[in-house]
Structures are given as structure tokens and as C-alpha cells.
Amino acid sequence: MSGEQLIDILKKAFGDKITGQNLEAIDPWIEVSPDGLVEVCKFLRDGDTKLNFLNSICVVDYLETDEKKAKKVTWEPHLEVVYHLSSISSKLTLVLKVMLPRWKDDEPGNIPEIPSVFPVWSTADWHEREVYDLSGVRFTGHPNMRRILCPEDWVGYPLRKDYEMPLEYHGVRGR
Amino acid sequence: MAEYLSTWIVEAGWDGWGWLAYLLVALVYAALLLNVIAVGAVVFIWMERKISGRIQDRLGPTRTGGKFGWLQTLADGIKLLSKEDLMPGEADSFLFKVAPYVAFAAGFSAFMALPFSDGWVALHLNIGIFFLLAVLGMEVFGVLLAGYASGSKWSLFGAMRQAAQTVSYEVPLGMCLVIPVMICGTMDLVSIGNQQSGLFTNWLIFHDPFTFMIFWVYFACGIASVNRAPFDLAEAESELVAGFLTEYSGIRWSLFFMAEYGSMFLVSGLAAILFFGGWNGPFPIFGIISEATGWSLESGVFATIARFGGLINFITKGVLGVTVMIWIRWSFPRLRIDQVITMCLKYCVPIAAFCFIGVLFWTGIVMPNVNSMLSIEAPSNHEDYTGRANIREGWVKDVDYTVSQHELSLAKKAGPKVLPEAEDDDAQEGDDDKKDGEQVEGNPDEPKVEVEVNKAAFNNLNNNASQPLLAQQESLSKKGAN
Amino acid sequence: MATAENSQTVEFDVRTDEMLVNMGPQHPSTHGVLRLVLRTDGEVISETTPHIGYLHRCAEKIGENLTPRQWVPYTDRMDYLAGMNMNLGWSLTVEKLMKYDLPDKARHTRVIISELNRIASHLVGMGTYGLDLGSFSPFLYAFREREKILDLLEDVCGARLTYSYITPGGMTADLPKGWTKKCNEFLDQFLPVIADYHALLTTNAIFVKRTANVGVMSAEMAIDYGCSGPVLRGSGVDYDLRRDGEERYTSLYDGYAFEVIVEKDGHYPKDHDYPNVPTDAVLGDSWHRFYVRMLEVIQSMDIIRQGIDFYESATGDWGTPMKISTKLPKGEAYLETECPRGQMGFYIVSDGTGPIPFRVRARSSCFSNLSVAPELCKGILIADIPSIIGSLDVVMGEIDR
Amino acid sequence: MFLLAEATSNAAVINWHTVFFFVVAALSCGFALAMLFSSNIVRMAFFLVISLASASGVIFLTGSHFVGAMQLMIYVGGTVVLLIFGVMLTAQEAFITMKTKAGDWVLALIVGGSLFALLTQAAFSVEAWHSTDYQQDLVKEVEKFNKDVIASMQSDGRAELDVEDRKLTKEERVTLSDLQKRIRHGYPELTGQIGLALVGVRTDQPSVEATGYTGYLLPFEIVSVHLLVVLIGAAYLARAKKRSAE
């Protein structure tokens, strides 16, 4: 079950929902469109790949803040939601990526949406809450979409590149 | 002792002060018992630290006061005294203050009926064990009120748990106590202790396999009713953050702990009396000496020495019981509340019932107990100890016994054969009536003799039932006269 | 066991009001700052919601401004009871990104040190678990042995808790002379002490009563909730990264003979001279999770002994630590290692522009292990909470990062 | 009220027994009243504990330890603990306070007052309880008996024999044992008697025919059946809860 065979199977099964892949990277990954995410995950888990263990969900914020480097950058700003999967029975591991715009309809403050994979793996519950809390991505269909690490009334999403530490929080000086 | 002292004061000429004697005696008893608990608590807290240290491969206190840190508890006491005993805002102030005293009072009053040696008991109750069981039930109030008055949810949980546990463990405790009572025929702790005199095989624990089994059930129920680990749900640190004791600090907190250590010693003391022969040592040395030398074990200097030896025996057994409790505490994890209750209802009560029936048959068909098999007849130091079987019909024997005693005294008085002493008896007899007579109709302001008489009628209530009322009353009035 | 079915539908004739009770964050038994809000009805708990985040320092944000070598001390502070394993995980991830291979001597040193730290971490887990259930003595025995391990680690890297010893590219220093002999001496005198722990806890009737058949977790549920390590193996899932993990991680353990501690058809490997499973212990309950940890201590001891032999016979230098300014190649790497509490994953993304990574992510094992707690704590008694949370052996530093 | 004064005055004896009697009686009645007037439910329960405990003190003072301990165990140790359990489990907020309206006070006073009057009247109608000198009468009787016996011994020559065989005549012995029993009747110290009395054999009375005293078997049975019903009720209540839980 090499990378190419898996890609072909997925392409046949889901057609345009598989938007890209990179097999030469240290950890080869497959890019999936947001709307097809849940079906692909169900297929990966129940199919013969048996990826029944969701290791981690995290978001990489592609945004270059200082101007000098921004010019040399090849990609334009976007969010990458990275799913690391592995299979308990076979030694197979896989990385799924979903490309998201940094802000929904490009107006800052309105965080992007993505369907929740909680129905597929229950561990996604807390991981998605952490991603929502720190990186600002809302997971639709999540049973309990609230912040998990920061206080309930915290403003902003710390792991975003353009995040500004608040001046004070409940009277405690921030900067 | 009280009567003797009161008459002694009256003879010494302070006429109206007879009552003072009773007060003094009562105060002496109270002070002694309070010391037993206070010194006991001090020693046990120190022992707990040292033993738990040894169990956990460390030293325990070594610095305070000398090599073994024996002043550690004093240091704790001072710290507790100087701590500010604060009270939470929403607490019910009156109950919050009263609860520790209720807990301590219950624990302390149980010591009244606990005999420390043959006859050395503050209140020689004919129903010793029954009284202890009744008072042990009272301890749950202190805890309940403390838990409720502290106002916080957690202490309420702790109090509810402990109350449920103590109340449910009274049932098996009661059943375990019935068995020694059944064997010895009386509930009077002093006579139970005396019946186990002689070789250690005469102790109730070796009486028959059922009593051996019931001792362990009793000890487990005792630990549970005193709330020591592994049954210490009330102040289960891990779940309820010290349960009902959360809000207490300083002197109030230490009162609760003195009550706990007091009742610990009480439970192990009771175990010692009921199963390990209380003040009778493994080998009846005093019995043998008294037979060899003829000194009576009833009264006199040698008797007090024997009783003192008994006291040491009893204290060592009690302290051994407490050591075992401490040892168990530091080597077992804690049970859950439902496991504690199921163990009580599903294991302790059935076993106690089974042993009860077993002992019933064992004593009913008079199976041989260990002592009789070894045919070592225990040199009993009581002339009225004529074997266990016939003590049960004590109440009938007593009436006949007093009648024959009275007959003898009348006979002595009546006959001329007796030397002149008999005559002035009559003379006194005569003026006795006169004095008695004129006193009864006479003015009520000269109450002395009457006082004697009235007191006589009552104070025999608590001394040995087998002493005849009339004979003793006469000797008093005779003494009162001259 | 208390009512196992869903407690919502339970209707009581005598309507007792539900009580919201707060356990923690300063509660002595919840292993640091974890706050559990329990909805209880009398003694039975109908719902548990853990609140975490009290120890959140946002180490990942700091990772975006530090070079990998500088971030190593942050990994120590995540699971502060197993600092070495954290360092190892991060170092391997960076070496995976850099495609940097290590000489043999460094490989064996890393195995010895990380297994030693696993023993220390399991000792703490065992001691605090005994403390949760009320018995105080095993805690002190466990810490007495742990002190000896900390002394050994202090000889190696000078620190007792936050080591920062294993860095990308090898270690900061080689093992001192005669250290392996001292380590062997410790291992020899440690074996009989394990028997005490078994006597005091594993086979103790009350301990079994408090843990057997409590917080039972099926294998599917464990995998579904992403549990890992002893929590996963306690439910009978035969999965250990030291054998089934990434090639780069399993290559560390090449040549080592060890079996994965999991109950297969009724018995554990090498359980001949250890107490066997009590009758009423069900696979996946708190007792099994505890028992897996105790056997892993023995497993680690065997690995260390083999490691010491390999170390003495290995040739070549002990690897050179990576310079702070070495440029990171473009790309990303994710690697999980078998830490005492479960699989600790590190993920590094670099855009190839300099020594500082673009994004750093730490996947915490206890984070997923704890996420199963609300599911396990339904319909149980209050006294079972410490028994279940203790068996999950969570460390808040790692959960909150 | 003169009855009470007369009864205590001719006792004219302030000894520990009367002192303690007054202390304990005051405690019992005082806390009973305190319970009536207090509004905090837990305090009422606590005052009940103290008043019942001092009631058992009164019983101890009469010398019947067994009944005193029984009162302590059953009432204070059992019933009031049950009451406090009930109070704690059902009190909605922590400190439920009950205010009694004025109308209730009037009604309570009427009912309470009539019951009180009834009880005191009944108590003072008993002849023996009028004076506390029944002990003195008893002692006088014994004195007279002694003198008669001594006189009769000296008169019919038994005095000449030596001490051991100066036996009482048969009827002298019977009257003596009767006297003994009446003295002993005062303190049922010997629990054996109570036990046997409960099953209908009155050993402390001279003879059943004479005094018509039969044992307490009937009340004993009634109480036990009553408790059995209570037990089954409690079990049923708990059972209901468990059944619906399955």
C-alpha cells in the first residue's frame, strides 16, 4: 500500500475532493477539500487502511509578518489544518491537510469553518477545541465548541502569527 | 470509697459536710479519667508518628525533647492552642462551637464504666457493656453537628458518610459484645474480667473457636465505628479534603482528635477485657503468691499491689490494641463508602450471628473449654466465684444469701452467750430506737443521721449487689450513733 | 459496580436535588491543577466536566521564536516527571527533519537514560496512586527509590528534574566514568523492592477492591479517544511505539530483546514471578492500567541492563550536539515516541529561511488520556474519581503545555 | 402547687441525689422549652438530644441503670440520629427556619396546657409518690422486725444456743425475705429480673396471686410487632428507589 496506490484509490472514490498531494516530503501528505473531509476520514478509518488512531490535529498559520521576508515568500497567506493519522493494526501513518483562508470571506475577525471529525474519532473533541481556542478555526457539528486552555472570556487566538498580546486582562498587565 | 470518706469526715467532727466527700471522690475519679484520655492522647499521637515513621522507613520526630522526640505532642498542643480557631462565615456559630464538646463528652463518658483493674472502676455498673454501647452511639452527634454547622457541602458529605458508617457498625458491634456477655452470664465488666483470671487459656478468646473468630470481627467493627483507616471515610483526604474537619482548626480540631484517640483506647481496652482477660496476666502470679502466703486478694496492701499489677496488664493490652490500629492505618488503602457498608451488612453481621449461635450451643451443651481440658484449675481470688454456670441465677441466690446473713447478725445480737459487747448493743439498740424514734418525729433541722440512713438506702445501689442491705445499714447507724 | 447504564434516564421516587460539587483545582488528589466539576446526586456522580488550562504557558508560540536547541528546556517542563523522554522526542523530530544519523554510542546512551527516567516516572505514578486511595507508605518507598535514580541522572547531566540533556544531534555530555557500574548496583538492589510494592498495593485486598472493575475502558473506546501508553495497553491493545513506532525511533531499540507489556489471552508476558491478575479484575479497569505500569518498570530494567552492555562495547564518539545557528532545511516532520504516560508527538514545520522553525507543535499523551475521563466517570461514586484519575496518571504540565 | 412543696420539704434533705435530680430535671425541661422556641431546625434537633439525654439522667438517678441506658441508646442514639438524618437530607437550603404563626401558638398552648395539667394531676394522685419517706417507713419496719426477732429469740430460749444454730422460725424467715424483696423491688438492678419480667415471670414480686403482677409479655410483643412493621416499611421505601433505577 504505497502512496501512489492510496492516492489512486482515493481519487477514484472521491474525485475532485482530493485537491493535491506531496509524496516526496519526509511525511507524505494528502490535501482534502473541507466539504469532503468527513467522508474521506470515514473511508480511511473503515477501509482497508484502518487508520483508526487520530494522533493530533493542529493548524499552521502561513502568514509572514515582517515585510522583508514577505516579499520572498512563494505561498500567499492561508491556514493549514493538519491531521496526523496512524493505524494500530498496520504500521501505516498518514497526514491529511485541509487548506483554509485565514479569515472567512476575507474579513478579519470572522474565523473560518470546517466540519468536525468528532463523529469519526472521539479524540477529536478536545483536539478541535484546542485548535479553536489557540488558532481560531470553528468546527461545525462539534458537540461543545468552547475554549479549552485559555479562559472562557479570552479575546483573540494566540497561535496566529498576527496575534497581539492584550495590554491587560482583568487588571493583570499583559505587556 | 465514697461512703468510707463521707463517714470519716462526719466522725472527724465537721458534721454537716458529709456531702463534700462525695464531691471530692467524684472529682478525683473525673480527674483520673481525664488524665487517662489526655495522657493517652499525648502518648498515642507520639506513638502514631514514631510507628508510621518506622513503617515508612524514616525516623519520625527525633529532635523535640530528648532523643526520641517524645515532647513532639506537647509542641503540637502548643501550636494548636496558639492557632486562631476561626469560624467560616456561613457556619452556624452555636452548633459549630458545641460540636467538639459533644463528641469529646460522648467519648469521655464511656470511660466511666471501663474498669482498669479488678474493682478499680469509676462507676461500677451492673450493665457495664450495655452502658458503653449506648454512649458510643452518642459520638455520632458531635460529628453530625460539626459537619452540618460548618456550612460547606464537603463537610456535609463527610458528616453524612461518618454518621451512616458509625450507625450501621453499631449493629455488628452490639452482636459481638453479646457473646462474651452470654459466656460470662453478666454484663458487669468487672466480673467478666475476674472470670478470666488464672492461666491465659482461661481467656475468652481461647474459650472456643467462635469467640476466636468473633474477636477479629469485633476488632474490625471497633476500628470502623471509631473511624480509623481503612474505614476513615469521614476525613478521606483524597476525596473530601478532611470531610467534616475541614473548617476546624486550633483547639477545636484537637478536641476532636482527643475524642478519637480516647475512643480508640476504649475500643482496644474493651477488647482486652472481653477477650484477653483485662487485668489478668497470662500467668496468675498474684493468685499463686496469695495462696502461698495466705494474703487475701480481697483487701489489704497485697490486694492493692495485685490490682496495680492488673492495671499495668490492662494498660499494656490497651496500648497493644492501639498499636495494631496504628499499624493497620499506615499499611492499608481506604475503602469506599459502599464497600464499608456492604462489608458491615454482608459480612460482619452474618458472621457475628453465626458465632452467636455457635457459642450458644457451645455453652449450652457445656462443651469443654481449653482451660478445663488442661485441668489447670484457676486459683480464683474470689470466694463467690463458683464457676460460670451458676452465676446466671445470681438474683435468686442473692436474696437467700442476704436472708441468711441477716439471720446470723440477729442471732449474734439476741443471745446472752455473747459477751458484754452484746449488752451495750442492746443499750445502744435501745437508745438507737429512742434516737431514731425521736429523730423521725423530731425536728427536721437535725438531718444528720437521717441523712446517713437515706444515703444508705441509695448508695448501696452502686456497690456490689451481693452485699446485704440491712447488715451494712446497721453498721452505719451503729457508727453514726457513737 | 455502581449503576453502569446512562444515568440521565434514572428517575428516583424520592427527588433529591442534584448538587454541583467542585473538586480542585487545588484538590490534593488531582495531580496538580486539574479542576473537576461533578454533578452529583447524593454519592452517585451523573456528570464530570474537567477544566484544564491552569498551567498553560503556550510553549508552542515560544517555539516559533527559538531555535530547536534553545527550545529543549521547554520540552522538559511539559511532562516534568519524564524530562528525558520529552527531550528525546523533540531531538528525534529535529533529527528527522535534518535527516541526521547518530553514532551507536549515542543511541545506547539515549536508551539507557530514557528508560531510567521511565522507571522514575512510573514510581511517582505508583506512589501518588497509592496516596489517592489512602495508603501513605508506598508513596514514601517509591520516592526513596526515585531519589537514587535522580542521583544517577544528576551525575549525568547535573539536574534532577529539568535535564535538557538529550539535544538534537546527541547529548550535551557523555556518561561519566564508572556511572554504568553505579547504575548496575542500583538495578540489583531495586528488584526486591518491587516485591514490596506488589505486596503493599497490587495484591492488597483493599487496593484490589478499590481498583478492580472500576473505570472499565474497552479497547475500541481507548483507541477512539486516542489514549496511548499504559492506558491503552491496560485495555488490552498490543501497541508500543518502541516496537511498532517510526523507523527512526524503533531503530534506537535495535538489538534489544523486550516484550510489550499487554495482557494476551489471559496473562501478561513474564508474569511468572509477579502476582497474577485477581479474579474480579476486568481487562481495561484501573487495576490493569496500574499493573501494566508496574511491569513496565521491570521491562525497563532489563532494557537498561542490555543498554549498559551495548554501551560498553560500542565504539566511536558519542555524537556532537547541533549548533544553535544551524539552518533548518525546508519541510516538516512529525514523530511520536513512547513516553511513560503515552505517545508524545512533536511536529516541526520550517520554511527553510533560517535556524528558527516556522511552527512547533507538541501532541500531549495525557491530553487524550484525560479526555476519556468524563466518559469513565459517569454513574460512579465520588470515591472512585481519584481511583480513575489516578490510574490515568495525568500530569497537568504536559496537558496544558 | 402546695403538693409539690410539701412533698419536697418533708424530705428536708438536700443530698447529692436531690441536687442532681434538680439539675437534670432543669436541663431536660429547659432544653425541651428551648426546642419549642427555637426556629433553626438543626438546633431544635440538638436541643432534643440534650433534653432526652438528661431524661435518661433522671432514670439513672432512680437507680434503674438498665432502663436509663436503654433510653440513652434507643431514644438518643437511635431516634434522634434518625431525626437529624431526616433533617439533613430534606432541608432544601442549608438552614431551613420555621416560623410558627400566632394562631398556632394559641392552639399549641391549649393542647399543651391540658396535657400538662392531666399529667401532673395523675402524678400527684398516686399516694406513694406524695412523700419521699417511703424509705424511712421501710427502714422503721425493718427496725421493728429486728427488735421482735431479738425479743422472741431471748424469750423462747433460742438465745441460749450458740450463734450458728440460732435459726429464725419459718414465718420469721418468710417475712424477712418479703422485706428483702420489697427493698430490692426499689432497684431492679438485676437485669435478669427485667429480662424474665419481659417474658412474663415476675421474680421481684413476692407472688403473682398476692399482687396480681403478671409479666410485661403483652406490651413486649406489641412493641416488637410494631418495630417489625416499621422495618418492612423502610425496606420497601428503599426498595422502590432501587427498582426504578434498573
Task: Note whether residue B382 is domain-resident.
Answer: yes
Question: Quick check: C16 and D241 CB within 8 A?
Answer: no
pLDDT at site D134: 60
Least confident window among C237-251, D62-76, D127-141: D127-141
Would you call B156 exposed, middle or buried from its count of C-beta atoms within 10 A (0-12, 13-18, 19+)?
A: buried
User: How close B332 gets to chain D, by Cα (Å)?
Assistant: 30
Looking at residue C8, its pLDDT comes to: 44
Picking from A26, A69, A123, the nearest residue to C353 by CB comes out as: A69
Q: Are residues D128 and D138 in the same domain?
A: no
Average pLDDT over residues C333-347: 93
Range of B81-85, B124-128, D27-31 with top mean pLDDT? D27-31
Are B339 and B234 members of one domain? yes
Rounded Cα–Cα distance for residues B175 and B180 (Å) = 10
Band of pLDDT at residue C287, cut at 50, 70 and 90 = very high
Q: Are residues C129 and C164 in the same domain?
A: yes
Residue D104: pLDDT band (50, 70, 90) is confident
Are C33 and C93 found together in one domain? no
Q: Is the pLDDT of residue B424 over 50?
A: no
For residues B245 and B340, state if they share a domain.
Answer: yes
Average pLDDT (B158-178) is: 86
* Domain range enclosing D150: 134-215
C163 within some domain: yes
Asked whether the predicted pLDDT for residue D29 surpasses 90, the reply is yes
Q: Contact at 8 Å (CB) between C330 and C219?
A: no
Are B335 and C206 an interchain contact pair (Cβ–Cβ within 8 Å)? yes
As for how many domains chain C has, the answer is 2
List, for residues D55-100, the tens digit of each pLDDT value: 998 888 876 777 888 888 888 888 888 888 887 776 655 455 667 7
How many pairs of residues across C and D have Cβ atoms under 8 Å apart? 14
More confident residue, B361 or B466: B361
pLDDT exceeds cutoff 90 at B433: no
D24 and D85 in a single domain? The answer is yes
Contact between B139 and B107 (Cβ < 8 Å) = yes
pLDDT at B343 over 70: yes
Cell of D169: 422460725
Do D180 and D168 share a structural domain? yes
Domain boundary among B389, B424, B456: B389
Cα–Cα distance measured from residue D246 to residue D242, given in angstroms and rounded to the nearest whole number: 7
pLDDT at B441 over 60: no
User: Do D81 and D122 reside in the same domain of the chain?
Assistant: no
Chain B residues with CB under 8 Å of D88 CB are 144, 148, 156, 159-160
Written as one string, the DSSP assignment of A76-135 is -SEEEEEEEEE-SSS--EEEEEEEE-SSGGG-TTS--EEE--TTT-TTHHHHHHHHHHHH
CATH of the domain at D20: 1.20.120.1200
DSSP lists the bridge partners of residue C54 as none
Asked whether residue B421 is domain-assigned, the answer is yes
In this structure, the answer to whether residues D91 and D155 fall within a common structural domain is: no
| Alpha carbon distance B23, B32 (integer Å) | 14
Verify that C246 and C336 share a domain, yes or no.
Answer: yes
| Domain annotation covers residue D229 | no
B residues 442-461 near D, CB within 8 Å?
444-445, 447, 450-451, 453-455, 457-458, 461
Q: Do chains A and B touch (3 or more CB pairs under 8 A)?
A: no
What is the distance between the alpha carbons of residues A76 and A74, in angstroms, rounded to a whole number? Answer: 7
Strand partners, C332: C349
Looking at the predicted structure, is the pLDDT value of residue B170 above 50? Answer: yes
**How confident is the model over B284-304, as pLDDT tens digits?**
888 888 888 878 777 778 888
Q: B407 lies in a domain?
A: yes
What's chain B's average pLDDT?
A: 75
Classify residue C53 by its DSSP letter: -
pLDDT of residue C72: 92
The pLDDT assigned to D15 comes to 65
My answer on whether C69 and C191 are in the same domain is: yes
Domain range for C33 is: 7-51
Residue B431 has pLDDT above 50, yes or no: no
Contacting C with CB below 8 Å, chain D residues are 89, 92, 237, 240-241, 244-245
Strand A113-115 vs strand A138-140: parallel, antiparallel, or unpaired?
Answer: parallel
Q: Is the pLDDT of residue D23 over 60?
A: yes
B476 has a pLDDT exceeding 50 = no
Q: Cβ(B241)–Cβ(B154) under 8 Å?
A: yes
- B183 and B253 belong to one structural domain: yes
Please indicate, yes or no, if residue D237 is contained in any of the structural domains.
no
Q: Summarize pLDDT for A132-159 with one digit per residue, the tens.
A: 999 989 999 998 888 988 888 888 888 8
Q: Region C9-19: what's the mean pLDDT? A: 52
**pLDDT at residue A175, as a whole number:** 76
Q: Which pLDDT does position B398 carry in this prediction? A: 58
Structural domain contains residue B384: yes
Q: Are D87 and D121 in the same domain?
A: no
Omega cis (within 30) before B230: yes
Measure A119 CA to nearest chain C CA, in Å: 10
Residue B454 confidence class, pLDDT cut points 50, 70, 90: very low
Write b or e for each residue in C209-229: b if 16 or more Cβ atoms lie within 10 A of its Cβ, otherwise e: bbbbbbbbbebebbbbbbbbb
- Kindly state whether residues B161 and B208 are assigned to the same domain: yes
Portion of chain B with pLDDT greater than 70, in percent: 72
Contacts of B68 (CB under 8 A, 6+ apart): B50, B61, B62
Contact C131 B238 (CB under 8 A): yes
User: What pLDDT, on the 0 to 100 scale, is given for residue D128?
Assistant: 60
- Selecting from C52, C96, C345 the residue whose C-beta is nearest the C-beta of A56 gives C345
Q: Which residues contact C289 (CB under 8 A, 6 or more apart)?
A: C230, C231, C234, C391, C392, C393
In this predicted model, what pLDDT tens digit does every residue of D198-227 receive, in sequence order?
Answer: 777 766 665 556 556 667 778 888 888 998
Taking residues A61-76, what's their average pLDDT? 81
Residue B262 falls inside a structural domain:
yes
**Torsion over CA of D124, D127, D129 and D132, rounded to 10 degrees?**
130
Q: Output the pLDDT for position C277.
A: 81
Amino acid, res. C381: L
- How many percent of chain A have pLDDT more than 90? 25
| D123 lies in some domain | yes
Mean pLDDT of C341-348: 92
Check if D163 contacts B (Cβ < 8 Å).
yes
Residues B144, B167 share a domain:
yes
From the CA of D109, how many Å to the nearest CA of chain B? Answer: 28
Residues C15, C72 within the same domain: no
Tell me if C223 and A53 make a contact (CB, 8 A cut-off): yes
Among C245, C336, C295, which residue's Cα sits nearest to residue C119? Answer: C295
The verdict on B399 and B341 lying in the same domain is no
Q: Is C58 on the interface with D (CB under 8 A)?
A: no
In CATH, what number does A3-156 get?
3.30.460.80
Q: Which range (B327-331, C33-37, C299-303) has the least confidence?
A: C33-37
Q: What value of ipTM does the predicted structure carry?
A: 0.77
Same domain, B112 and B164: yes
Number of domains in chain B: 2
pLDDT value of residue B191: 84
Q: Are residues C42 and C146 both part of a single domain?
A: no
Check whether residue C139 and residue C98 sit in a common domain.
yes
The whole-number pLDDT of residue B463 equals 44
| pLDDT tier, A129 (very low <50, low <70, confident <90, very high otherwise) | very high
Report, as an integer, the average pLDDT of C154-182: 89
The shares of helix, strand and coil residues in chain A, as percent rounded to the nearest 5, are: 30, 25, 45
Residue C4: closest CA among chain D residues belongs to which residue? D246
Nearest chain B residue (CA) to C197: B331
> Higher-confidence residue: B144 or D18?
B144
Arithmetic mean of pLDDT over chain A? 87
| pLDDT of res. B165 | 86
Q: What is the Cα–Cα distance from C87 to C84, expressed in whole angstroms? A: 5
Question: CA C351 → CA A62, C63, C64, C331, distances in Å?
Answer: 10, 14, 12, 6
Say if residue B106 is in the same domain as residue B138. yes
φ and ψ at residue B309, rounded to 5 degrees: -60, -40
- Residues C44, C80 within the same domain: no
C28 located within any domain: yes
- Residue B322: what pLDDT? 94
Domain check: are D163 and D90 in the same one?
Answer: no
* Per-residue model confidence (pLDDT) at position A110: 86
C39 & C67 share domain: no
Among D99, D120, D152, give the residue marking a domain's end: D99
The strand ranges marked E within B167-322 are none
Nearest to C209 among B154, B240, B335 (CB): B335
Confidence category of residue D191, pLDDT binned at 50, 70, 90: low
pLDDT at A108 over 70: yes
Note whether D66 and D191 are within 8 A (CB): yes
Percentage with pLDDT > 90 across chain B: 14
- For residues D87 and D139, membership in a common domain is answered with no
Between D89, D92, D240, which is nearest C13 by CB?
D240
In this model, does residue D10 exceed pLDDT 50? no
Bridge partners (DSSP) of residue C324 are none
| Domain that residue B477 falls in | 394-481
C295 and C374 assigned to the same domain: yes
Would you call C321 helix, strand, or coil by DSSP? coil
Nearest to C41, CA basis, from C74, C10, C82: C10
Residue C123 and residue C117: Cα distance in Å, rounded?
10
Q: How many CA atoms lie within 13 Å of C151's alpha carbon, on the beta-carbon side?
A: 11
Q: Flag whether pLDDT at B376 surpasses 60.
A: no
* Pair C85, C214 in one domain: yes
Number of domains in chain D: 3
- What's the pLDDT band for B423 if we cut at 50, 70, 90? very low
Residue C2 falls inside a structural domain = no
Judged by DSSP in three states, A22 sits in strand
Q: How far is C96 from chain A (nearest CA, A)?
A: 8
